[in-house]
Structure 1
Amino acid sequence: MTDHLTPVEAPLRCSPDELRTLFLFEKLADDQLGWLCENGWIKIFEPGPVYTEGDPATCFYVLIEGTVALYRRVGPDDVETTRTSQAGVYAGAWRSYLGPNAPETYNNSMRAVTTSRFFVLDAPLFAQAMRDWFPMAVHLLEGLFYGIKSTNDAVNQRERLLALGSLSAGLTHELNNPASAAVRATAALRERVAGMRHKLSLIASGKKHPIVFEPLVALQEEAAALVAKAPTLTPIEASDAEDVIGEWLDEHEIPYAWDIAPTYVQAGIDVAWLEKVADTVPDGTLDGALKWLYYTVETELLMNEISDATTRISTLVGAAKQYSQLDRAPFQTVDVHELLDSTLTMLGAKFSGVTVVKEYDRTVPKIPGYPAELNQVWTNLIDNALDAMDGRGTLTIRTSADDDCLTVEIADSGPGIPAEIQGRIFEQFFTTKPVGEGTGLGLDISWRIVVNKHHGDLTVLSAPGDTRFRVRLPLAGPDQLAAMAAGSAEEVTIDSAADRAATS
């Protein structure tokens, strides 16, 4: 690991008087400064690594002089996040006083930009000093740290439950429609099968004109084949076709002509085929033959309806399973298009009046990540877009990739986000929705999932009629996959003289 890189000089003894000039130590007593110098040391680093992201967090560093920069790994690259020459800024294992719940590895990398001199203290000794010297402050910091964490967990869970409730209501509605259709079709099918049994019984008893079964069975097979490839007609085309068939049936004195004509049209049967039936069956049996064939085509249509309904139910269940990721590992490589499609399916009940355009680049590779949480991001962004359009407009979802990242863009044709609030939309609890309709957490959670957990980026471009949220996710290699899978704990940042409270 890089903590023990050979510096320009061997570890040097520090001076209590020099430490007292640093804002971090200026209020310490003489015996405390002496303890620091007895247990810590001075190290000088040439330009280059001081420590590396992912290594065990063993040391606490305070800059005495020089210039340093912090980096975070994004995909295959290290991206600079902070650069400073401020004496007294600190980095490394500064949260070790929080005990076993503190991050155990460096969550960023630090480099010396120029030859730089540091005061260095082993993490366990730093934790010991904090707890011995400032027990009340440590308890307060622990309470603040874990209190904020607990609060965030609670509000995040609340946001997830609200989203789950909305999705569940939509999914219930979407499932109810095909389920009801399947129930209705099954009941109608039972009636038609009973009618066919009755008709068969009459034919077999000879009480009606006998029908020659061999040509009739052949016509049944043809009718079933016609149903399988029946064209989809417009309402006007269907109405015209029903008139033609109804008139033909009337001319041949077929009872209930206008009741059965729509079914024949739906099945793709035309007058030419009915003429073929009339030429095939014996005289006096056309009525019975057409009724028998009517039962056949209606049975086929009902079975198609049941098949479509159950397929729709299966698709919805599959989308829910894909969306929730219940049977999958939390971290994996995923096809982002599968995640987007499952989210669109789950939100399908909200798309009335909205045109959905999918501009997918199917050549983009799979990405490493937490799919259930990415689905939460897509849900928040799409739901916001639908709210902005108020039931009318176009939702466009685009995917693309460059050398480093995959980009998902979710665009809507709504009124846009006012310029004066665009800088605040990712703030926690900030919302423009009326009281009771928005929590102000959706975009904050989305930002933290994308940026903190996936080392990506979430930005917005907005103008009236064109608002675009862009999510960039790293196309990480095997090493980055392992680092990401190990977890994305708190960010570790350099403090500054102007802002001495460490932030993450």
Structure 2
Amino acid sequence: MRLREIELFAQLTDDQLDWLSSVTEESRLRNGETLFRDGEPATHFYVLLDGELVVTKVVDGREELLTRHSTHPRPGDGHDAKPSAAHRFTGELPLLTEGSYLATATAAGDTAVLVCPKPAFFQMLVRCPTVARVLLPVLAWRITSSEIQARNRATVTALGTLAAGLAHELNNPAAAVARAAQDLGPVIDRLGETAQRWGSVANDRERSALREMIGEIVRTPPTADTDPVALADLEDAVGDRAAELGAEQSAPLATALAERGLGQEWLSVRACGMRPEAVAAALDQLSVLLEARALTDQLQSAGPRISALVAATRDYAHLDRAPRQEFSVTDGIEATLTMMRPQLAGVRIVRDYAPDVPAVTGYPTELNQVWTNLIDNALDAMDGKGTLTLRTCLQGSCLTVEIGDTGQGIPADSLSRIFEPFYTTKDVGKGTGLGLHLSYRIITQRHGGSLTARSAPGDTWMVVRIPVNGTPTKGDA
């Protein structure tokens, strides 16, 4: 019989094949016709008789190719050591988990499939034990392959988060550096011109007076909490007075004096000790000096900000460090928040870190993936607005991390299933259904800890417990 040529049914007896033929039917698909769609309730098990099926999934708005099933596999169709039997059937996983189809299967060319209804599928597993011997190893491979793909996708997503956050945060200091560097050239040229003019007219007493003016300005800190309107009025008044005294470049001088609360009276008193012909040259020299100083201050402040962001990136990714090490969980959470800062713009963050929390031993990069996933889920639940609460404390021999949000909450009938592979509460096309499962594996298997959840509308908490003593890894996450 034709079915006996398929590995799944190769060991069936004639009676079993006759029964199978009586409970199934053959269906033919034209090129581009859909066999089942992602998110639809799983109702049938399908065996590929002839042709090819392309299996895809929409992830974050993008359609991704997951695999191809073909009666004549091509090079590349055997990704992740795909068993040959895996090419010939599909749909068993959502039937066994009482869920929905996890992807969309579409015919590539004229394709024929054997359609087995759900009740008959479960009868087949009982009546035909040799089918289960072929099906179960393929099922295990599919779960593992899906987790590998999801982990790779999560890594790419995390790198995207890292790159987006870093680019966003670097934009301001980098722009400040570029702007200051661009402005500094013309200022240096003007500085040479004003210095030459000042040097040609000033006497020793006037030079000393200008040095005292510069010193006083530098020592006077900017005024805090100044009314913007009052500051603008003061700046205009100082600028007008400097112009009256003959200054041609009064704007930087007016800005610097107004920011320090030094008004036109201060300027008049300091300038009255100079000869009229020297005052204008002195004020122009002073103005350009203050402009140059302001630009160098911008460069000096931008540099440490860039260094801090690079340090946060290094802490997030733990570059150039051994994978398993002793580290601070709180530092990892803060590095994650830094990388996700653009997504947190509309969110109030409450930090409740217990003091003197000990370091733990484990895999910091993988845990940062967990924090990224849990925080991202919280932001999604709050639709980008609300309160995100982060707590750490020591409970017995375990470090406990709690991440809370004020979002819509997790439905009660879903709460017990959120860590299952492929289970998701998101709409079709959003997420992979493996984010929380992979986080669960990282916490439980890689760190010997636990990940639990409790939820009510407006009050959802993800609770992570990690042994401080560094429980040995139980396997790859």
Partner of 1:329: 322
Partner of 1:193: 188
Q: 1:332 to 1:172 in 2, by over 3 A?
A: same
Partner of 1:224: 218
Q: 1:236 to 1:432 in 2, by over 3 A?
A: farther
Pair 1:156-2:142 in alignment: no
The 2-side partners of 1:355 and 1:237 are apart by 32
The 2-side partners of 1:281 and 1:407 are apart by 69
Contact (CA 8 Å) 1:210, 1:285: kept in 2 or not? no
Matches within 5 A, 1:283-294: 283-294=276-287
Partner of 1:212: 206
Identity of aligned residues (%): 40
The 2-side partners of 1:329 and 1:135 are apart by 46
The 2-side partners of 1:237 and 1:439 are apart by 55
The 2-side partners of 1:236 and 1:398 are apart by 42
Pair 1:427-2:413 in alignment: no
Instruction: Please give the secondary structure, in 2, of the residue aligned with 1:212.
Output: helix
Q: 1:277 to 1:429 in 2, by over 3 A?
A: farther
Partner of 1:339: 332
Partner of 1:88: none
Where does the alignment leave 5 or more consecutive residues of structure 2 unmatched?
1-128
Q: 1:257 to 1:201 in 2, by over 3 A?
A: closer
Matches within 5 A, 1:140-151: 145=140, 148-151=143-146
Contact (CA 8 Å) 1:230, 1:268: kept in 2 or not? yes
Matches within 5 A, 1:378-417: 378-417=371-410
Q: 1:443 to 1:270 in 2, by over 3 A?
A: farther
Pair 1:300-2:286 in alignment: no
Partner of 1:165: 160
Q: Displacement of 1:375 after TM fit? A: 0.4
Q: 1:330 to 1:224 in 2, by over 3 A?
A: same
Instruction: Please give the secondary structure, in 1, of the residue aligned with 2:414.
Output: helix
Partner of 1:358: 351
Pair 1:488-2:460 in alignment: no
Deviating beyond 6 angstroms after TM superposition, the runs of 4 or more aligned structure 1 residues are 134-141, 208-211
Instruction: Please give the secondary structure, in 1, of the residue aligned with 2:323.
Output: coil
Q: What CA RMSD, in Å, does the superposition of the two structures yield over aligned residues?
A: 3.1
Once the two structures are superposed, residues 172-219 of structure 1 have per-residue CA deviations (whole angstroms, 9 ceiling, x without a partner) of 22223321211001111222222111101122344x999822221232
Corresponding letter in the other structure for 1:159: A
Corresponding letter in the other structure for 1:215: A
Q: 1:240 to 1:400 in 2, by over 3 A?
A: farther
Once the two structures are superposed, residues 426-451 of structure 1 have per-residue CA deviations (whole angstroms, 9 ceiling, x without a partner) of 23233333443322222111111112
Q: What TM-score do the two structures reach when normalised by structure 1?
A: 0.62
Q: Displacement of 1:230 after TM fit? A: 5.5
Matches within 5 A, 1:119-138: none
Where does the alignment leave 5 or more consecutive residues of structure 1 unmatched?
1-133, 492-504
Contact (CA 8 Å) 2:250, 2:284: kept in 1 or not? no
Q: What TM-score do the two structures reach when normalised by structure 2?
A: 0.65
